[in-house]
Amino acid sequence: MASLLQENLEFLTQHASLNTLESLNHANVDDSDIYLESDRIHNSVYRIKTESNKVFMLHSKRDPVSEADHQIRNWTNEGAVDWAGLIVVFGVAGCYHLQQLARNVLSGGMLVVLDNNPPSVKFVLQYHELSKLIPSGTTSCFIINSDSTLIAREYRMILSKRNNFTFSFFTHPGLRRACSEKLNVLSEKIIVETRLDGMDRGTLASFSDEWTQNTILNLPTILNNPGVHSLKNKFKNLPAIVVTAGPSLNHALKTLKDAKGKALIIAVGTALKPLLAAGIKPDFVIAIDSDPKTWNQFSDIESKDIYLLAGTIVYPPIFKLFNDHLFSFMSDVLTDFNDWLISCDSSPGNLAVGGTVAVSAIDAAVVMGCSPIILLGLDLSFPEDGTSHAKNSMYDGHYYSKDTLVKVAGNNGNDVWTTKQFSMYIEIMNSYLEDIKNNTSIDIINANQQGALIKNSTQVNPNEIARFLLDDQKELLKQIDTIHNSSDKPALLSTKKAYNNANLELIKMEEIAHKAVIVSDSLLSNPVDVARKECLIKKLDNLDSKLKKQKVAGQLLTSAIKAVNMHIQSYRIETDTTHDQHDLFVDVVSKSKQYYQQIEGAASWIRGLLEDAADQYQIEYSQRNGGVINYG
């Protein structure tokens, strides 16, 4: 048994994360809820202890293999299962269902097995050889952990890397009967993560071209200012107050005004005008959104003596408002573009981004080394009258009707009203703060008697925050000025080389894509001439090869054509004989032509944006440094 268990753990080194391996190594089989009924030569039989301490058979005693096959066939018949998608399995159980599921997984598909009972999994792995259950070539991943939140996070990482966003969920019937409570906790978290990833994909497809455009338009300002990495640990152990614009902020403004100079004040965009109306200038204001309506958070303000922490995708007029008073940062929404910035030594550094801008604001304080970090106005919920935000914010006077809201746990021990979207933000915030708790010694203080329950933080009354602040006021603005003025900016030479290289590759990519469109048209005009078709397909393959060699241009274009990319990548050719092969060929070539047209148009568009950005960079650089850049 020991040797078989060891073989399985060795198998899992290629099919599981270190977290799963550690969970199994530390698990005690004596704590297993699954027991061996009989160890037959081929089919071990198991009993399982339920959550109410009852014991019954986990599966058929006579023929567990046939039973598993029957269960999978019934499950398949109940709904459309995409065997080339993600097959998510709740529970290792007795392993028999895994063998039947794995046999059906098609090329491109992936079997993901989730289980939040490591002792039971370890016990069963003493009797089954995973390498024989999972056919060679089947892509599979096991996520085993007693903490369902950690399972959900790892699952989200896998999901985010999938091009094919189709998934099917299978729960082992015996486990569902015996461990419904534990499985419900896990399945709810997995469903939330799946929805969040779906929202992210939808947002990415809808806005990636806008984000790309904004980032390129912001490039001159990004390159002429230091990045957020320049602030790393510059305010070590200094208290920070992260201010958001929940309704409770109205009652905390006097306390916040007294804290000026005794803590670093970081406001989210929606909280800026409420603070300024109360005579409070934050040290930093943070913006991450590309939406033009966020300009309402900044219009008609006096930006002097306030520094902007700006995501590269932010609406460009906001960048201009804080032209020489900002630190920029990247987020993971434009990974390929970010890789290009890194490759040309122009990366401004990263901050965490997730759901609410408050996550990024807290992460900025973490990067700066601040502790404790005090949260003000982070309600993520609404009072009984449905008021959504603090007074003087861009949402002043906005109310929610209760029939559009849901209830979540509140700070005061009672349930509070919130939106479904905010309820997801709460989960994201709780997950982020759990990471902070586990990986740093930073104290998170939630100074709020109202609002939703924010886990992994210490709750206090806003009037109590004075005990966390410095005794004397500091001239924090002067410190920030010094950091900003003395920090390195991207090297001029590398910036020039990066622009020239990108421009040349974009020209090549545009030309190659144009030729591919012409070849595609030729294929569509006469697809029945076999000899001619083979010749044209070879030409198309050659052009594809040339497109792939334009690495830099590819990095810049990926986000600009994200929507069509996602559509093409999710397209699967049906190969059964019921489909006319001629129609299939025409369909594939038509989609290819569409893709090449997108590449051609995007290459021209990106090149034009970069040219304008280079000209603006030259102007701004000359104004600041008295130098001239020649891009010829």
The answer on pLDDT for 480 being more than 90 is yes
CA 51 to chain centre: 35
Average pLDDT over residues 160-188: 80
The answer on pLDDT for 503 being more than 70 is yes
Q: What average pLDDT is seen over the chain?
A: 85
- The pLDDT tens digits of the residues spanning 252-279 come to 999 999 999 999 999 999 999 999 999 9
Which of 208 and 281 is assigned the larger pLDDT?
281
583-610 core/surface letters (b: 16 or more CB in 10 A; e: else): eebeeebeebbebbbbbbebbbbbbebb
pLDDT of residue 206: 56
Closest to 562 (Cα-Cα) out of 196, 203, 204, 199: 204
pLDDT of residue 238: 95
Per-residue tokens: 313: 């995708």
| Helix H or strand E encompassing 166 | none
pLDDT of residue 527: 64
- The pLDDT tens digits of the residues spanning 50-66 come to 777 888 888 888 888 88
**Maximum average pLDDT range among 135-149, 370-384, 559-573:** 370-384
- The pLDDT tens digits of the residues spanning 80-139 come to 788 888 889 998 888 888 888 888 888 888 899 999 999 999 998 998 888 888 877 788
Which of 38-47, 365-374, 534-543 shows the lowest per-residue confidence on average (mean pLDDT)?
Answer: 38-47
Which of 58 and 503 is assigned the larger pLDDT?
503
pLDDT above 90 as % of the chain = 37
Instruction: Label residue 426 exposed, middle or buried (CB < 10 Å: 0-12, 13-18, 19+).
Output: buried
The DSSP letter of residue 410 is B
pLDDT of residue 528: 62
Amino acid at 630: N
Residues 474, 477: Cα–Cα separation, whole Å: 9
pLDDT of residue 351: 92
pLDDT of residue 575: 42
Residue 456 zone, left/alpha/beta (φ > 0; ψ -120 to 50; rest): left
Amino acid at 123: F
Instruction: Label residue 290 exposed, middle or buried (CB < 10 Å: 0-12, 13-18, 19+).
Output: buried
Confidence class for position 423, pLDDT limits 50, 70, 90: confident
pLDDT of residue 78: 79
Closest to 460 (Cα-Cα) out of 469, 49, 298: 469
Confidence class for position 438, pLDDT limits 50, 70, 90: confident
Closest to 508 (Cα-Cα) out of 597, 599, 612: 599
The answer on pLDDT for 202 being more than 70 is no
pLDDT of residue 41: 52
